[in-house]
Structure 1
Amino acid sequence: MIFPEDFLHYVWKFRLFERTDLKTNDGEDLEVFSVGFHNSDSGPDFQNARIKVGDTVWAGNVEVHLSSSDWKKHGHNSDDAYNNVILHVVYRDDVPLVLPDGRRIPTLELQNRIPDDLYIKYHQLVFGNQTIIPCEANIGTIDSLTMHTWLTRVLVERLEKKSAAVINALNLNRGDWEETFYQFLAANFGFKTNALPFELLAKSLPQTILAKHKNSSMQIEALIFGQAGFLVGEPQDEYPLKLKKEYEFLSKKYGLQAIESHLWKFMRLRPPNFPTIRLAQFAALIVHSNHLFSKVLDNKEVKGLRDLFTDIHVNPYWETHYRFDVESAPSAKNLGSSSIDILLLNTLALFLFSYGKHNQLQHYINRSLQLLENLPNENNNIVADFVNLGVKINTAFESQALLELKNNYCNNKKCLQCSVGNKILKLV
């Protein structure tokens, strides 16, 4: 048999070995009351186990190795943290072990106690020729309760990792949630292609400056388009000429330095997604909304959150333009429902979770998960693959969790740490 030590951990943790007539390699009767708690930090592999060797009941730690000789190879013989090990669980017992105090460690050898079909299933998962995920032949048969419970945990893991970036930015912004939310919202207005220039724009144009000009949509638009680097040269139309004049005054007043306009990408984008249109929509949102993050915290209904981004009307100039000085056929330029869904998913859900986690307020975490449950699932290659494998996906809650599952578990073949993998392996 070929397998890593993690597989042996899994076998011990879930007692997936033949348990009748257990004996140590010294021939003493062995009874396992508790395998202990799996330890992911340094020290013995399982803590607080309870066993009975002969007539004596022991409580302590259990160490798991492929071979008994790994004890010395791993340096445990000189580490006091391993002095309270009460049982050494190994696949192959090749050398006896004695602690510095002279006590010989009881050893359980599992070489002939692991079911063949368990090993075969494990080997097929980890070393098979699957093209999408290790369990692609079985995942569609997993019961809904197991799947939902596991996806909930995986989704929380995803949000916890992403919230670390939020808290880091919050610290840089000296605890200002409104400013931090404004920066992340701006980046997400870039919808991946233009996320970086939008983020740079927001960081170069603090919300406190915009707040001073809330009563003038022209000044807000001038600040945003000017900082974006789109008001250079000599505009032809009256609207950009006015914006440029306003920006020249405001940039001197606040000592602003525009970002480079070449950072913005137009190639391979549909005109409604041009950065100029996204900037116009962002400017309209700034004009329309005061203390936006506070409103997010106050709105307990998904409809209320969605309403924050609906009926945001851009300057009429953009109804007949996609770029400055280039006229086009008339069309509405408001944020579409799919764009709003993306903002709710990537910004609002993340910030509700981050705020709740940072302040230990569970109801905001619950609201974050509820929001994702009320948003439609994303459409991408990973989601499509899971659908083709028989996984039911209807909400962003599920699609976000499956993205994390694929990238963090499936791609790394961490089947032993996955509830889906566990379910498959236990069906032996």
Structure 2
Amino acid sequence: MIREDFIQYLWGAHLIPTAPLKLSTGEVLDILSYGEANPYGGPDFFNARLRIGSLQWAGNVEMHTASSLWYAHHHEQDPAYGNVILHVVWEHDVEVFDFQQNIIPTLELKSLISNDLVEKYTQLQQAKSTFIPCEREISSLSEGLITNWLDRLYTERLEEKTQAIVTLLQESQQDWEAVFFLKLLGSFGGNINGDAFEQAAKQLPFSVIRKQMQDLSQLEALLMGQLSLLEATDLSCPYYRSLQEEYQYLAHKYALVTPCFRVQFTKLRPPNFPTIRLAQIAALYHQERSLFDRCMTLASYEQALEFFGKVSPSPYWKNHFSFGKESKESHKHLSPMLIANLWINTIVPMQYAYARSRGKNTLAECKAKLRATPAEHNSILERWEGLLLPNTNAMESQAILQLYKKYCNKHACMACQVGQVLLKK
């Protein structure tokens, strides 16, 4: 089945035959310029230049698998599509008009594209893969092509993270420390509790954290309380009771929003319990009062290891993983894996966004930092390595995750350099 991304690829890669093209209106089309792809809402390509009959036109190009989708998407009512000068479709099944009732010329591709190209596209889309659609063919491509594509994918991923930071800044009146607090908590929460940690942080004004940094137990109480970990009434543990009382006092003092987030302990190893992670965050802000400024100066993963490796939670957690349950004594320092996650997913993106807000482009520097950071390891990356493909550093790891989640998982092969090259082979 032909998808719209195939049509967009054919147009963007200039694979439309150059022979005289006949439109639905009977006129002859000559493509002078294909225009620029539009990654946002609206027509698919901007600023195309066409000769239709004896007239030259400049405007936008819209694409669908069938002409009738123009009406299914209600483009005939949308002024944003008023400057569309050409409708490119796989199958032309109905004439289309814009919101002013002007007919829009349509180019049907079904009879113009070679069967060989269509067959390659279909094979890629319908491949019975266990991991990614091109898993049988990708190893035939040059290492240089893969490496260059991964470099671009990391740029894309970093820009997405930066945009998320910009959005949070707008919501927090440009408070960089508050946004860093949100993102840091999300990273500490990991895949299972990250969202709950970050959402709870949004309900805990960072101004409150600033005021309580000098008191470790109050920081713990605020964080534990906002994540509903201090609601038990049957625990006789004195430390728990003291935090409970602290939280009740602080919640009243600062008129905190009643906690509505629940964390999970299941599927987690004890060192990753939310109680331990929150105790570590409290210790981090207690021990380093200028945490944001300090993290913006970290120049390498090794420096991050040294800095975060010194963080030690309050004494209670030496022989506890959760409240009221004693365990064998152990230091609850941040693990190298957690520090790597903080460095890769929070600190370096924040450094990039912060520098850019001050007119500096540190993209090359950020890439160099992650190239010097060991590769990440998870099930997706292990399967990638199983195809004998590179995952030699953290930048490549991040790029592979971007590729898998944004392209492979969505069968967006026509937007992927690998898919485009395989289609031409």
Does TM-score exceed 0.5, indicating one fold? yes
Look up the match of 2:230: 230
Are residue 400 (structure 1) and residue 398 (structure 2) matched?
yes
Instruction: State the Cα distance separating 1:125 from its structure 2 match.
Output: 0.9
Look up the match of 2:371: 373
- The 1:283/1:119 distance shift into structure 2, 3 A limit, reads same
Write out per-residue CA displacement over residues 53-99 of structure 1, whole angstroms, 9 at most, x where no aligned residue: 8xx895746868799987998999999978995x88787899999xx
- The 1:227/1:141 distance shift into structure 2, 3 A limit, reads same
- The 1:323/1:29 distance shift into structure 2, 3 A limit, reads closer
Give the counterpart letter for 1:7 in structure 2.
F
Deviates more, 1:378-387 or 1:270-279: 378-387
CA distance in 1, matches of 2:408, 2:46: 25
Look up the match of 1:411: 409
- The 1:213/1:422 distance shift into structure 2, 3 A limit, reads same
Look up the match of 1:282: 281
Identity %: 33
CA distance in 2, matches of 1:403, 1:274: 25
Q: Which runs of 5+ in 2 are unaligned?
A: 97-102
CA distance in 2, matches of 1:78, 1:235: 63
CA distance in 1, matches of 2:188, 2:381: 23
Instruction: State the Cα distance separating 1:160 from its structure 2 match.
Output: 3.6
CA distance in 2, matches of 1:386, 1:58: 49
Are residue 322 (structure 1) and residue 347 (structure 2) matched?
no
Deviates more, 1:149-158 or 1:115-124: 149-158
CA distance in 1, matches of 2:66, 2:372: 53
Q: CA RMSD in A?
A: 4.5
Are residue 157 (structure 1) and residue 156 (structure 2) matched?
yes
Give the counterpart letter for 1:398 in structure 2.
E
- The 1:318/1:139 distance shift into structure 2, 3 A limit, reads same
Cα pair 1:49 1:59 within 8 Å, conserved = yes
CA distance in 2, matches of 1:379, 1:366: 24
- The 1:361/1:239 distance shift into structure 2, 3 A limit, reads same
Deviates more, 1:248-257 or 1:185-194: 248-257
Instruction: State the Cα distance separating 1:207 from its structure 2 match.
Output: 3.0
- The 1:366/1:44 distance shift into structure 2, 3 A limit, reads closer
Look up the match of 2:99: none
Are residue 266 (structure 1) and residue 249 (structure 2) matched?
no
Are residue 188 (structure 1) and residue 187 (structure 2) matched?
yes
Q: Which runs of 5+ in 1 are unaligned?
A: 98-103
Instruction: State the Cα distance separating 1:275 from its structure 2 match.
Output: 1.9
Please give the residue correspondences for 1:355-366 in structure 2 after superposition, counting only pairs within 5 Å: 355-356=354-355, 359=357, 361-366=359-364
CA distance in 2, matches of 1:329, 1:153: 47
CA distance in 2, matches of 1:330, 1:7: 59
Look up the match of 2:13: 14
Write out per-residue CA displacement over residues 375-422 of structure 1, whole angstroms, 9 at most, x where no aligned residue: 333333322332223321123322322223223222332222211111
- The 1:66/1:360 distance shift into structure 2, 3 A limit, reads same
Write out per-residue CA displacement over residues 341-396 of structure 1, whole angstroms, 9 at most, x where no aligned residue: 11222322332344355x27443444444443333333333223322233211233
Task: Find the residue that maps to 1:190 and give its secondary structure.
Answer: helix
Give the counterpart letter for 2:259 in structure 1.
I
Deviates more, 1:238-247 or 1:70-79: 70-79
CA distance in 2, matches of 1:58, 1:171: 44
Task: Find the residue that maps to 2:321 and give its secondary structure.
Answer: strand
Instruction: State the Cα distance separating 1:128 from its structure 2 match.
Output: 3.3
Instruction: State the Cα distance separating 1:113 from its structure 2 match.
Output: 5.6
Give the counterpart letter for 2:396 in structure 1.
E
CA distance in 2, matches of 1:252, 1:65: 57
Give the counterpart letter for 1:187 in structure 2.
G
- The 1:332/1:32 distance shift into structure 2, 3 A limit, reads same
- The 1:263/1:17 distance shift into structure 2, 3 A limit, reads closer
Cα pair 2:7 2:65 within 8 Å, conserved = no
CA distance in 2, matches of 1:92, 1:368: 46
Cα pair 2:214 2:286 within 8 Å, conserved = yes
Cα pair 1:91 1:109 within 8 Å, conserved = yes
Write out per-residue CA displacement over residues 95-123 of structure 1, whole angstroms, 9 at most, x where no aligned residue: 999xxxxxx99998866664443222112
Write out per-residue CA displacement over residues 35-70 of structure 1, whole angstroms, 9 at most, x where no aligned residue: 4444566458564447798xx895746868799987
Look up the match of 2:382: 384
- The 1:141/1:223 distance shift into structure 2, 3 A limit, reads same
- The 1:10/1:291 distance shift into structure 2, 3 A limit, reads same
Deviates more, 1:296-305 or 1:335-344: 296-305
What TM-score comes out, normalization by structure 2 length? 0.77
Give the counterpart letter for 1:412 in structure 2.
K
Instruction: State the Cα distance separating 1:320 from its structure 2 match.
Output: 1.8
Cα pair 2:180 2:350 within 8 Å, conserved = yes
CA distance in 1, matches of 2:29, 2:322: 78
CA distance in 2, matches of 1:160, 1:341: 20
What TM-score comes out, normalization by structure 1 length? 0.77
Look up the match of 2:100: none
CA distance in 2, matches of 1:199, 1:67: 41
Determine which structure has more spread, i.e. the larger CA radius of gyration.
Answer: 1
- The 1:218/1:416 distance shift into structure 2, 3 A limit, reads closer
Length, aligned pairs only: 416
- The 1:152/1:360 distance shift into structure 2, 3 A limit, reads farther
- The 1:295/1:114 distance shift into structure 2, 3 A limit, reads same
